[in-house]
Structure 1
Amino acid sequence: MAGTRVVLHRVTPAAQGPVDSAVTAADGRFRLAFTRDTATLHLLSARHHGIEYFSTPLDNRESGGEEAVTLVVHDTSSRAPISLSARHVVIPRAGEDGTREILDLVLLRNSGVNTRVAPDSLGASWAGPLPPGSEGLDLGESDVSPDAVVRRGDSAIVSAPISPGEKQLALQYHLPPGRREFEIPVGAEPVSMSVLLEEAGGTASAPGLARTDSQTIEGRSFQRWSGDLQPNATVRVLLPGAGPNAAPIIAGMVSVLALALFVAAWRALPGPRIASSNRLIGEIALLDTRHQGREADTPPEEWAHYVERRGKLKAELEAALARESGRR
């Protein structure tokens, strides 16, 4: 596409921003030069119909030569089909006050060629059901901005553009104290779903949902149910009461859930993030649900990112457990 400005971005742990740009020629080609550094990420962006599109990270090996990069942009449509390809819900044990914070990983797929946009300022590019009676809605670092996701009643409303491919949303909400059961609506389309529930006394049930292998992480056990659920199905979750030794839940952002490294670096906020052991264990459980036993079917780069990400989360978990132990 001719006449489009392509921007080169530099991302380091301390700062990020544009460093150079070029305008595409009649054949859509462009050329930009940069100095490679293994401690720095570089990526490209271009704006089309008001939407910014990013490339994957450029080769940062110092021995690298010229690199051919294809940066894809898309036309927009308010009718581009968006499907829910998977959903993973992690329910940790309750905090001392009985509140349960829930991690809800939603994977959206745009299988078309156009970017889905909201029809107007009050509309949504996608909306999905939340458990009735749950409260609040925060977004971890996902493929959309936290400002673009809000709660209306018992629905999560996304106003951000959804470009072709798969997008990940890390939703977080909570159940108030005293809830011993709740329901998770599936919505109007079929979905592959997993429910991970800490504490042996809890259960999850729905037509098509079956108990599978449990996971033990740092001595904490999660029961797991998974299956392909039909449209308008409802998962019924029964919860045990809060135990006297339940770990307190600390407010803070949910970290990246298996997102690409450049997205995390590009959207990282300054300053440390303090995450609770509950949240970190939930993230490890989600990562393991998606990757364990699938190394042969996973691209090497993605598998390496999973191993690296899990190692970092485990280190954060050890630090969080030490902090929480020191406060008791």
Structure 2
Amino acid sequence: SVFRVFFALTMAAVAISLSSSMSPDSSKASNAAASIFAVIDRESKIDPSDESGRVLVNVKGDIELRHISFKYPSRPDVHIFQDLCLSIRAGKTIALVGESGSGKSTVIALLQRFYDPDSGQITLDGVEIKTLQLKWLRQQTGLVSQEPVLFNETIRANIAYGKGGDASETEIVSAAELSNAHGFISGLQQGYETMVGERGVQLSGGQKQRVAIARAIVKDPKVLLLDEATSALDAESERVVQDALDQVMVNRTTVVVAHRLSTIKNADVIAVVKNGVIVEKGKHDTLISIKDGVYASLVQLHLSAST
């Protein structure tokens, strides 16, 4: 009887000791779980599944940003834009340039309504985008970013995702041809059925970017958004991808965010962003001739870094 009591007390002491040692880990796990569920349960201010709003029958692609002020919710003390105004004519290409952190990529985020401006209006063909159906609005835009996100699927499936997975074979091949991707895809052993691997690891940087371009244009968007689309590529890959972009930009309203001179110098309009506003706007030859101009200084800095 004494032995049983001793054994029970010993086992209880061991259990208490083990549970005490795990207490810090349990506390960390509880806090981590609370943080995760807070993110999962958070309701977005902009509901991507909301099907209310207008749908335009014919889209030309005229875009205007009127007196835009904006700061990120996570950094409420930092003003990204203060009374920014910008007009983009349908079918034209505008390049946004400026120092890092000046808000160039933020323009693209606002155009897709990932965020709404604190004040001011953004319009598409004269209609405020807040009044448009969000899903429809995003279908009118094709985005190509610096690091394309490819899924662990076939090349065919990754391109088709640009149209919600509902693209026909003809549309997929046509988009691949226009983006200079059809040639290398056809040269692969399994062609369009080639698995790209997690985040596209089976493809080179230039190949991934061309697949991303094909995905962006398979839905035939009226507006093309290029966010540093060639900045992570080597010179040869950049040339091939830039050739593809030059083809798909024809007759589309295109907003280009880039640092490289080769990407922006042929734009119809170059807008220089600084301190939350557009400080210079015009074609390359005009801006480069402005003595002590912001654009001229950026170009000189780029050329110095390249040599």
Query: Larger strand proportion, structure 1 or 2?
Result: 1
Q: Which has the higher contact order (CA 8 A, sep 6+)?
A: 2
Pairwise TM-score range, normalised by the shorter structure: under 0.3
Task: Flag the structure with higher helix content.
Answer: 2
